[in-house]
Amino acid sequence: MLYCYNCGNFTTGNAFYCNFCGRSYDVKLCSRLHVNPRSAEVCSQCGTRDLSTPQPKVPLRIRVLAFLGFVLLGMFETFIVVFLVGCLVVAFLTRQDVQRALLSLGFLAAALWIIWTMLPLWFRKFVYRLLQRTRKSREDNE
Ligand SMILES: [Zn+2]
Ligand SMILES: [Zn+2]
C-alpha cells in the first residue's frame, strides 16, 4: 500500500502510479515504465521526454500546515503591533498630565499665531526689517 503525498489517498499493492491523481511515487516513469530519478527530463533508457509527474517530496497536508503556520505567525505579529499601539493610545488617553501638556502647547502655539495675525501690518514689516537688520549686522561683524 502506498500513500500519495499529492492527493492523500492510498493505492494498494506495489503501484507505479497513484490510483486517484495519476502521479508516480518519488520517481519519474516513462510510458514504458522505465524508472528515472526525480531530476530526469528524458528517460535514460528509451529517450522519451514523456515522463510522469512524481508526487511532491513533502506531503501536501504538511505544506498546508506550514502555510497556515506562516499565516498564523503573521497574524500574531500584527496582533502584537496593534496591541502595542492600542496600549500607547490608551496610555495617552488616560494620562491626563500628558494630555494637558500637549493641549497647553497647542493652545500656546495657536494663541501666538492669532496674536501675530492681529498685529498691524506696519508692525509686522517693522519686525521683519529688524530681523533682517540683526542678521545683516551679524554677518558684518563676522
Ligand atoms: Zn494521488
Ligand atoms: Zn523509457
Global pTM? 0.44
Q: What is the pLDDT of residue 92?
A: 77
Tell me, in angstroms, the distance from the centre of ligand 1 to residue 29's CA: 15
Q: How far apart are the first and last CA of the chain?
A: 94
Tell me, in angstroms, the distance from the centre of ligand 2 to residue 105's CA: 83
Tell me, in angstroms, the distance from the centre of ligand 2 to residue 5's CA: 24
Q: 110 pLDDT band (50/70/90 cuts)?
A: very high
Q: 141 pLDDT band (50/70/90 cuts)?
A: low
* Pick from 133, 7, 100, 131: nearest CA to 59: 7
Tell me, in angstroms, the distance from the centre of ligand 2 to residue 39's CA: 15
